[in-house]
Structure 1
């Protein structure tokens, strides 16, 4: 049975914009191909099995979203790591969560100690991906495990309850989006760091429901206004400080 991932968009407008970080962009067809290819890569070449753990040290880039989604669809627990931490702080989280693989980008690869456990994969130098196989929605799904800020001691990992299968995970993401009014009706603008729960997960839920995702590389008032106008943004997530600056 074909996967329901982006099914409506792939049927109705496969070559329209699905996601952009204002530098690169993907259509729905391209995004689906990238995500399924990463799932296949994780499961076959990198040996990620259900229940394993991976970490992301990636900025506000398309790669972050693709890897976050692919990891969970591959059955892994995924921890997005704060990209503003020091090398030693990152090393602690990497080891504490038991990540057998860390995805990174060019800007943050140097922060990863090469002597640490697990594989380090730079998404920007990964090269051509294999053709992905169709996602089996009856297979075990993964989940997200985010870390607290560590204001009272070391950061602590918080595992979000997850369902059993990939199909149930996608259904839960869709319903979570609808609970917040993120029903995929129009472009969603990411204004904060993708490693944070609210901007990262809410945007992912809206994307799963069919909303193109527009990612600001970092917060800037002019870039915010320009993106809203250029892409006719309908939903976003802002914090009080951003309202003050606007």
Structure 2
């Protein structure tokens, strides 16, 4: 028997079996059951249909972790339209590029970020603008709650959908300045959700605290998995360590995902205030990408009483494809478990993850041989939106038919990956991807900058942060004709604040190959010489 795999099934299932049970604890203080959440989603779908949104149209959402984001996502995919979440930390010009690239027909914006859209609304294709507080923003915006309340949920018509239809486009930074739209089909979203729920041990009585941005690959797919399991979403507008601890206790939170940056914030707050760390539920906490320092894991588990889970993946892979939290490989009662947990891990079921050398051959499982991580499976992106050349390269660079992650790793005798470095010039700072080439392009526009190389440097707060090695136009590193502060201010004019370099070093020369290409590896080696690996582990 064949049944289409659709991302709509998760809310459908929750409404069918958990309709009278709590679905969402909203930032507004409201609480919604799955029946109530579903009703609001149906009404928004009706309203969007009435305003011309059809199957295949892109609906962009710029919103923190609120129930409005969840409702917008589900209403969009119920119409066969394409959910396109936007990073609210981006500048108007960066959002302009994405809205035009995807051809967004409608934009739903939180009142805090509506001004960014208002600044570009005449330059983007969208004709429908909805915000959750129309009175708080300038411009001609429809009010979300009014739109929902005025709609008749019985007028909603769901179109026929195929599992190969596009469900979402998630934009990610790449090795060029322009972000790429990662196209995820309904089939890919569904299969990733099944696997994620299994490997993260999700249950219907879980209480999930949204500390991870929902715009990040659909919140690592959790807008689907938490809903599909019939668990509870606890929404947040931002990250505050004290609020997180209080919410954990008040709502009996059992699961959350955090970048290492947030974990550091929690530990710092705990050291100073000694808050209660658990409600009535045991708590799991997951991190993605490079593992936090072992000291962080020890504090979370031994002092907080939380269970740490290390994950790995990319926006292009669903995102989650690997975990080190497989308990037959370590003793839960021994401190030796941290040696396993800090590894990147082994692949999820149905996901083949390997490491290949420059010739595309699998590297030996010796824990020493370094190669690029490649993956294939049913949760991988379909393509990059409107970028056929980049799509072809991503699937055929070293080994044909495999998605190439750009991350370099070793594999040990048990098959566990450990990320060593990055092939692509991406800096991951506080969980955000930053393209070094994008930063270099901006600094190259400054008249006092002749050459520049951006590399990641260790950061206790952010994991890693960008540093600029600058060869000044006048060639004098001692008197370059510009200050580091001036270059940082120059960058802030066109980039989101988190992308701005945290350190500038003026140099007489940059290390180059025989063909004149800057050897960033040498620069990274200088910065990470005292670290175990050249990744942002703090």
| TM-score bracket, shorter-length normalisation | 0.7 to 0.9
Scaled by the length of structure 2, the TM-score of the pair is 0.41
Shift of 1:27: 2.0
Shift of 1:158: 0.6
Comparing 177-186 and 63-72, the one that deviates more: 177-186
Q: Which string of whole-angstrom CA distances, capped at 9 and with x for unpartnered residues, describes residues 128-163 of structure 1?
A: 241224675854564111111356311111111333
Alignment match, 2:151 = 130
Higher helix share: 1
Q: Which string of whole-angstrom CA distances, capped at 9 and with x for unpartnered residues, describes residues 25-70 of structure 1?
A: 3222210101111222222x12222222111112222101110121
Alpha-carbon contact 1:190-1:203 (below 8 Å) kept = no
Q: Which string of whole-angstrom CA distances, capped at 9 and with x for unpartnered residues, describes residues 182-203 of structure 1?
A: 2333211110221112635224
Distance 1:235 1:123 in 2: 29
Scaled by the length of structure 1, the TM-score of the pair is 0.84
Distance 1:117 1:4, change over 3 A: closer
Comparing 128-137 and 210-219, the one that deviates more: 128-137
Distance 1:9 1:148, change over 3 A: closer
Shift of 1:94: 0.3
Distance 1:79 1:36, change over 3 A: same
Distance 1:161 1:192 in 2: 22
Alpha-carbon contact 2:80-2:159 (below 8 Å) kept = no
Which of 106, 110, 114 is the matching residue for 2:111?
106
Shift of 1:10: 4.4
Alignment match, 1:25 = 31
Shift of 1:170: 6.1
> Which SS does the other structure have where 1:100 is aligned?
strand
1:7-26 mapped onto 2 (5 Å cutoff): 10=15, 14-23=19-28, 24-26=30-32
Distance 1:10 1:114, change over 3 A: closer
Distance 1:238 1:195 in 2: 14
Q: Which runs of 5+ in 2 are unaligned?
A: 1-7, 133-142, 267-538
Alignment match, 1:145 = 169
Comparing 20-29 and 204-213, the one that deviates more: 20-29
Bigger RCO of structures 1 and 2 (CA < 8 A, at least 6 apart): 1
Shift of 1:221: 1.2
Distance 1:152 1:95, change over 3 A: same
> If you compute each CA radius of gyration, which structure gives the higher value, 1 or 2?
2
Which of 88, 92, 98 is the matching residue for 1:87?
92
Distance 1:160 1:10 in 2: 24
Comparing 217-226 and 176-185, the one that deviates more: 176-185
Alpha-carbon contact 2:22-2:31 (below 8 Å) kept = yes
Alpha-carbon contact 1:22-1:215 (below 8 Å) kept = yes
Distance 1:160 1:194, change over 3 A: same
Alpha-carbon contact 2:83-2:167 (below 8 Å) kept = yes
> Which SS does the other structure have where 2:128 is aligned?
strand
Distance 1:135 1:183 in 2: 31
Alignment match, 1:162 = 186
Which of 39, 46, 65 is the matching residue for 2:45?
39
Which of 56, 59, 65 is the matching residue for 1:60?
65
Distance 1:7 1:150, change over 3 A: closer
Shift of 1:175: 5.3
Distance 2:176 2:197 in 1: 31
Distance 2:41 2:218 in 1: 22
Alignment match, 1:117 = 125
Shift of 1:181: 2.2
